[in-house]
Amino acid sequence: MKSNENSESVDVLLGNPKKALINMAMPLIISLLISSLYNLIDAAWVSGLGADALAGVGFFTPIFMILVGFGNGLGAGSSFAISKYIGEENKPKADNASIHSILLDIIISIMLTAILLVLLELILNVMGAGQTISYATDYGNIILAGSILIILSNALYGIYRGEGDSKRPMYAMMVSAILNMILDPIFIYSLDLGVRGAAIATLISAAFVILILCYWFYIKNDTYLNPILSNFKFKRDISRDIIKVGIPASIQLLNNAFFAAVFSALLAFLSSTDSVAVYSTGWRIVIIGTTPILAIGTALISVVAANYGAKNYENIKIAHRYAMKISMIFAFAVAIVTNVFAGDLASIFASSSTSVRIAPELTSFLQWIVIYYPTMAVGVASTYVFQGIGKGITAMFQTIMRETGFTIFFAVLLGVVLNYGVWGAWMGIVLGEIVSNNLTMIWADWQIKKLIDLND
């Protein structure tokens, strides 16, 4: 038997849904924590260049989120399609879907890079980058030039998750993170490249991820899937399955970037670019805190899709309930720890003489923002159920409803209309998340019940 026919991860994926969820989620939690960690390390090193440099990178953050959003979105589409075909016991179609995914990723990344390079300065000016725009463009032009590395590395993770393997992406990400941690101070300070050095270090790290993942696919050749050109035969239904989840998933993550841009502009209006630095830095910490919730939701896509393909709808209900339960445990624990140690966390990212002034506001942000974490536990799991059953547009609408709808509405209402300023904007995030996450949970319960009833 060929080594790439190893189906251990697939057997787990199609087995007990609770066990499958845990087996996939734990490596994903570690992977996403590592990813978030080196984003934080980037911020910590850049903060040594001053608050303006930190704010400049912060203004580019929504654009960076576009790149990551497309990578993760296309990865979600790949996971759905591949896991669905595995659930249908159609390995040739799953192999074909994996190479479809890679080719789509490359085409979309080239198109996206060209568009963003042309529009970068205009976008930054609209966001209100002002005096920090030179830092933002120095960092952004380099990242965009190598954006295919960021998009493709994130999308390749989706292929591995599709076959139920989240351990290997974890190993690749660990190597990437360690490399990034080593390269950051060298490129930023030793080579005196400033924010450009941080961008170069990020791209080199992303390139290593791709090399490692491709090594397992094409040299060691011991994966279940075989994404080679000889297995490629264009199929409209495969492309449709990837795109119907991948593009809406990308758009919903793009919506997060849109929210970040609008929210940064709102903060600049209410206060100053210092508040933007607080938000962009604080949100990195929020991402770390909510990583377990996102990891569980991401793992849920493959578990739900495999059982959807196999028509085991009761397992979808079990997986959804279990995902919400364990996410809630993580949410409460992280919220308490973050609130207690908010001051210590803030001091790490406000260490230089020019950025220390943002420490009090950053501390306050971290203490208040954690209120919504427990409701995120139910909202994320519920949205990812819809991705797992191929309803990508519904999942996209839910995200837009949460971010652009409720959250911005409450932020403007509290921050501008009721004149609570920056604190009102923070609380707008909290209220928007609480309302929309609970609505999403009710919606998911109804959808799963509908599937079960139709199968009876």
pLDDT tier, 264 (very low <50, low <70, confident <90, very high otherwise): confident
Backbone angles phi, psi at 144, to 5 degrees: -65, -35
Residue 7: pLDDT above 90? no
Q: Is the predicted pLDDT of residue 142 greater than 70, yes or no?
A: yes
Mean pLDDT of the region 7-36 = 82
Better-predicted residue by pLDDT, 325 or 63: 325
Judged against a pLDDT cut of 90, whether residue 394 lies above it is answered with: yes
Q: 175-191 pLDDT, tens per residue?
A: 888 888 889 899 999 99
Angle between helices 236-270 and 421-455 (to 10 degrees): 160
The per-type count for the chain, helices as H runs and strands as E runs, is 18, 0
What whole-number percentage of the chain has pLDDT above 90? 41
Residue 207: its pLDDT value, please? 93
pLDDT in tens, 192-226: 899 999 999 989 998 998 999 999 999 988 888 88
pLDDT bucket at 4, cuts 50 / 70 / 90: very low
> Looking at the predicted structure, is the pLDDT value of residue 6 above 60?
no
Residue 5 scores a pLDDT above 70: no
Q: pLDDT for 277-315, tens place per residue?
A: 788 778 878 888 888 998 899 899 999 999 999 899 999
Pairwise CA distance, residues 442 & 439, whole Å: 5
Average pLDDT over residues 108-121: 90
| Residue 210 dihedral angles phi and psi, to the nearest 5° | -65, -45
Geometric angle at alpha carbon 99, from 96 and 102, rounded to 5°: 150
**Closest CA relative to residue 229, chosen from 386, 361, 106, 315:** 106
For the cut 80, the answer to whether the pLDDT of residue 34 exceeds it is no
pLDDT computed for residue 267 by the predictor:
83
| CB 153, CB 166: distance < 8 Å | no
Backbone angles phi, psi at 109, to 5 degrees: -65, -40
Quote the pLDDT of residue 43: 74
Q: What are phi and psi of 58, to 5 degrees?
A: -60, -40
Whether the predicted pLDDT of 325 surpasses 50: yes
Q: How far apart are CA 302 and CA 247, in angstroms?
A: 17
Q: Is 315 left (phi over 0), alpha (psi -120 to 50) or beta?
A: alpha
pLDDT band at 38 (very low <50, low <70, confident <90, very high): low
Higher pLDDT, 454 or 372: 372
User: Rounded distance, CA 91 to CA 240, Å?
Assistant: 18
- Containing structural domain, residue 445: 3-455
pLDDT tens, residue by residue, 145-184:
998 998 888 778 889 989 888 889 889 888 888 888 889 8
Which residue type, as a one-letter code, is found at position 383? Answer: T
| 75 residue type, one letter | G
């509405």: which residue's tokens?
409
- Mean per-residue pLDDT for 88-109? 92
Rg (CA), the chain: 21
The H-assigned helical ranges of 128-146 are: 133-145
pLDDT of res. 347: 80
Number of neighbours of residue 134 by Cβ within 10 angstroms: 13
Question: Which of the four pLDDT bands, split at 50, 70 and 90, describes residue 251?
Answer: confident
The DSSP string of 41-97 is HHHHHHHTT-HHHHHHHHHHHHHHHHHHHHHHHHHHHHHHHHHHHHHTT-HHHHHHH
Share the mean pLDDT of the chain.
Answer: 87
Task: With a cut of 80, say whether residue 351 has pLDDT above it.
Answer: no
Looking at the 3D structure of the chain, how many domains does it have?
1
